């Protein structure tokens, strides 16, 4: 068990470009979450998967954001037509059933900078 892996660790992109991030959860965890963290703030919920089904989405997740989890394993988060306000740390976490009571395991995050 190597924990939750996120790739890339850092991404610099020009405004208007599309970016995609990947998250590999702990293998036996069936739940996967995406959060966004900006400077001076705590993580904010974006979306949640149970297996391959996307069960919850935050209003923060605009139409430019899409997340997938094909086959219930790894997940991708795509941001289309990036804006400077998208600059943040994007965190992935995973849990087994009961994660709402026992907490998640977080990855190290992907830091996105939009220039």
Partner 1 sequence: AQSVSQHNHHVILSEAASLELGCNYSYGGTVNLFWYVQYPGQHLQLLLKYFSGDPLVKGIKGFEAEFIKSKFSFNLRKPSVQWSDTAEYFCATNTGNQFYFGTGTSLTVIP
Residues that bind partner 1 (CB under 8 A): 3-4, 31, 33, 35, 40-45, 48, 55-56, 58, 91, 93, 99-104, 106-109
Using CA atoms, how far apart are residues 90 and 75, in angstroms rounded to an integer?
Answer: 13
Q: Of 80 and 111, which has the nearer Cβ to partner 1?
A: 111
CB of 45 to partner 1, least distance (A): 5
CB of 75 to partner 1, least distance (A): 15
Q: Name the burial class of residue 9, with classes exposed (0-12), middle (13-18) and buried (19+) by CB atoms within 10 angstroms of its CB.
A: exposed
Q: Which two tokens stand for residue 39?
A: 């400077």
Q: Of 65 and 104, which has the nearer Cβ to partner 1?
A: 104
Task: Return the ∠ at Cα 6 (arms to 27 and 80), rounded to 5°.
Answer: 120
Q: Please provide residue 89's backbone torsions phi and psi, each rounded to the nearest 5 degrees.
A: -95, 125
Q: Of 67 and 82, which has the nearer Cβ to partner 1?
A: 67
Q: Of 19 and 89, which has the nearer Cβ to partner 1?
A: 89
CB of 98 to partner 1, least distance (A): 10
For residue 112, which of 95, 94, 91, 87 has the smallest C-alpha distance? 87
């Amino acid at each position: 068990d190597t924990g939750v892996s996120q790739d890339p660790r850092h991404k610099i992109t020009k405004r208007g470009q599309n970016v995609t991030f990947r998250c590999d959860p702990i293998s036996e965890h069936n739940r996967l979450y995406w959060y966004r963290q900006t400077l001076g703030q705590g993580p904010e919920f974006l979306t949640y998967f149970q297996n391959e089904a996307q069960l919850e989405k935050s209003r923060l997740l605009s139409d430019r954001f899409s997340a997938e989890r094909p086959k219930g394993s790894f997940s991708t988060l795509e941001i289309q037509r990036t804006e400077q306000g998208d600059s943040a740390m994007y965190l992935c976490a995973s849990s087994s059933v009961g994660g709402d009571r026992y907490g998640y395991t977080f990855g190290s995050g992907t830091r996105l900078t939009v220039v």
